[in-house]
């Protein structure tokens, strides 16, 4: 094991190289630029490609080209830049090309600010570009997970031939923590569909255009079947003291770290509060949420996000009004404090007459 005290943004780059990533195509934007800086430093050292593209749009299209040739490839940006990449993401999804896109979310809409927000949930988890597609979305909450989920993202992207997004925020990116990097480097699987610059290419085509409506519908149906399988096989989440919890907090990314402290404080006061943290945002742990709502001790969910409430919609869909779902959000780069959420926990308990 190789342990290093490192910023999450840098851990991503080292993990990507260990995962066999061959190319990084980027464009500067705060607060994701540190990823490009680290990539510019390390990729050339290994004889791999780092290129600062002319735009966010170009960088995702370079990713499209590299992925079509079977390379593990990535780009990284932040919210306004991700908006520009949505065209490319739709094409990657349509052509079923694997890649890693890192989104270090910042405040919006428009230019917003460079402080951390989680307001890209909808544009990443729900699509964002045109067409009936899904990204696989992973949400790290520590520097260690910036490493682990980066590596997992490449594996899942190749396994499912699907773009994968690491959805983090400025806080997780800026934070330094110890990271245990694995000793082994990942093997990249054979990709018999990829262009190789060889005679076999004549039978291969990377494409997202299907002029005949029925054929395009078939293509879409096949994509939906793939997404359904991903939902069956790839759901990941973490629970903290939910077994007997009467109020279950739900949050991802930096918010889940704050919620963990909320649980500790609430338990210290004898309150039965637990935490469910989705690690995959698509696929979303909806089955587990439904179980908690149906058969468990949970009487109410409290969802917290640094947004106007985007993931909460998915929690509500999963829970389907079996028990109440409350929401507490901050926006504009304001990070909720432990005390602030503890107060909301108190209000929620009073409002719903829970026994917590």
Partner 1 sequence: MAKKILRKPAGFYDVFERKPGDQLTTHYCPGCGHGNVHKLLAEAVVDLGIQDRTILVSPVGCSVFAFYYFKTGNIQVAHGRAPAVATGIKRALPHAVVVSYQGDGDLAAIGGNHILQSANRGEQITVLFINNAIYGMTGGQMAPTTVLGMRTTTTPYGRKVNNEGPPIRVVELLSSLDGPAYLERTALWDNKAIRRTRTAIRNALQCQIDGLGFSMVEILSPCPSGWKLNPDEAHEWMRENMAPVFPPGLKKDVRAEREPFFPEKRELTAEEIRAAVDLQIEEPTPYPSELVKPEYADPAIKLAGFGGQGVLSAGAILANAGMEQGFQTSWIPSYGPEMRGGTAHCFVHISRHAIGSPTVSNPDVLVAFNRPSLEKFEPELKPGGLLLYDSTIIDVTPKRTDIEVLAVPATGLADELGFSRMANTVMVGAYVAKTGILSREAIEQTLPLAIKRQNLVETNRKGLARGIEFVEGLES
Alpha-carbon distance of 205 to 195, in angstroms, equals 8
- Site stretch for partner 1 (CB under 8 A), options 54-62, 154-162, 221-229, 296-304: 54-62
Report 138-177 residues binding partner 1 (CB under 8 A).
Answer: 170-171, 174-177
Q: Does residue 297 interact with partner 1 by CB under 8 A?
A: no
Minimum CB–partner distance for residue 227 and partner 1 (Å):
22
**Contacting partner 1 (CB under 8 A), which of 87, 231, 239, 313?**
87
From residue 112 to residue 141, the character string flagging contacts with partner 1 as x (rule: CB under 8 A) and all else as - is ---xx-------------------------
Give the pair of three-digit tokens for residue 217: 């519908």
DSSP-based three-state secondary structure for 2: strand
Minimum CB–partner distance for residue 256 and partner 1 (Å):
9
Report 209-238 residues binding partner 1 (CB under 8 A).
Answer: 209, 211-212
Minimum CB–partner distance for residue 261 and partner 1 (Å):
3
Number of Cβ within 10 Å of residue 54's Cβ equals: 10
Minimum CB–partner distance for residue 1 and partner 1 (Å):
7
Q: Does residue 239 interact with partner 1 by CB under 8 A?
A: no
**Contacting partner 1 (CB under 8 A), which of 28, 178, 189, 192?**
178
Give burial (CB, 10 Å; 0-12/13-18/19+) of 243: exposed
DSSP-based three-state secondary structure for 152: helix
Give the pair of three-digit tokens for residue 154: 């490449």
Alpha-carbon distance of 87 to 129, in angstroms, equals 6
Q: Does residue 111 interact with partner 1 by CB under 8 A?
A: no
Interface with partner 1: number of residues (CB under 8 A): 85
**Contacting partner 1 (CB under 8 A), which of 64, 160, 227, 327?**
64
**Contacting partner 1 (CB under 8 A), which of 9, 67, 79, 86?**
67
What string of DSSP letters covers 261-313?
HHHHHHHHTT--EEEEEESEEES--HHHHHHHHHHSS--EEEEEESSSSSHHH
Q: Does residue 49 interact with partner 1 by CB under 8 A?
A: yes
Q: Of 16, 12, 57, nearest to 168 (Cα)? A: 12
Minimum CB–partner distance for residue 233 and partner 1 (Å):
28
Minimum CB–partner distance for residue 317 and partner 1 (Å):
28
Minimum CB–partner distance for residue 34 and partner 1 (Å):
12
248 - beta bridge partners? 274, 301
Give the pair of three-digit tokens for residue 135: 């990204």
Minimum CB–partner distance for residue 96 and partner 1 (Å):
13
- Site stretch for partner 1 (CB under 8 A), options 132-140, 250-258, 266-274, 314-322: 250-258
Q: Cβ distance 150 to 19 under 8 Å?
A: yes
Q: Does residue 267 interact with partner 1 by CB under 8 A?
A: no
Phi, psi of 100 (to 5 degrees): -115, 125
Number of Cβ within 10 Å of residue 291's Cβ equals: 13
Q: Cβ distance 27 to 77 under 8 Å?
A: yes
Minimum CB–partner distance for residue 74 and partner 1 (Å):
12
Alpha-carbon distance of 101 to 80, in angstroms, equals 14
- Site stretch for partner 1 (CB under 8 A), options 156-164, 190-198, 311-319, 344-352: 190-198
Q: Which is nearer to partner 1, 122 or 261 (CB)?
A: 261
Report 309-348 residues binding partner 1 (CB under 8 A).
Answer: 332-335, 337-339
DSSP-based three-state secondary structure for 56: helix
Q: Does residue 53 interact with partner 1 by CB under 8 A?
A: yes
How many angstroms separate the Cα of 106 from the Cα of each of 78, 274, 334?
Answer: 6, 28, 11
């Amino acid at each position: 094991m190789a342990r290093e005290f490192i910023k999450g943004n840098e851990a991503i780059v080292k993990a990507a190289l260990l995962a066999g990533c061959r190319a990084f195509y980027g464009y500067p934007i705060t607060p994701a630029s540190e990823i490009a800086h680290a990539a510019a430093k390390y990729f050339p050292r290994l004889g791999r490609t780092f290129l600062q593209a002319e735009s966010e749009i170009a960088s995702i299209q370079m990713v499209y080209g590299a992925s079509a040739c079977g390379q593990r490839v990535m780009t990284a940006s932040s919210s306004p830049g991700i908006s520009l990449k949505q065209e490319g993401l739709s094409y990657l999804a349509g052509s079923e090309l694997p890649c890693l896109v890192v989104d270090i979310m910042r405040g919006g809409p428009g230019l917003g600010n460079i402080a951390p927000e989680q307001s890209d949930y909808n544009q990443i988890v729900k699509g964002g570009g045109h067409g009936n597609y899904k990204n696989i979305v992973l949400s790290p909450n520590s520097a260690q997970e910036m490493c682990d989920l980066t590596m997992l993202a490449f594996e899942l992207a190749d396994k499912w031939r699907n773009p994968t997004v690491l959805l983090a925020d400025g806080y997780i990116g800026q934070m330094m923590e110890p990271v245990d990097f694995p000793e082994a480097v990942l093997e990249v699987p054979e990709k018999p569909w990829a262009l190789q610059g060889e005679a076999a290419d004549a039978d291969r085509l990377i494409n997202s255009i299907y002029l005949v409506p029925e054929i395009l519908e078939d293509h879409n149906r096949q994509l939906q079947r793939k997404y359904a399988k991903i939902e069956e096989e790839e759901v990941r989440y973490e629970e903290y003291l939910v077994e007997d919890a009467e109020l279950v907090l739900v949050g991802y990314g930096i918010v889940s770290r704050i919620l963990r402290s909320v649980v500790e404080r609430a338990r210290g006061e004898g309150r039965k509060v637990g935490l469910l943290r989705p690690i995959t945002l698509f696929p979303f742990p909806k089955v587990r949420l439904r179980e908690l709502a149906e058969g468990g001790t949970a009487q109410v969910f409290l969802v917290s996000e640094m947004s106007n409430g985007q993931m909460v919609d998915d929690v509500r869909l999963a829970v389907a009004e079996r028990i109440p779902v409350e929401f507490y959000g901050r926006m504009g780069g304001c990070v909720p404090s432990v005390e602030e959420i503890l107060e909301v926990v108190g209000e929620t308990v009073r409002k719903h007459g829970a026994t917590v």
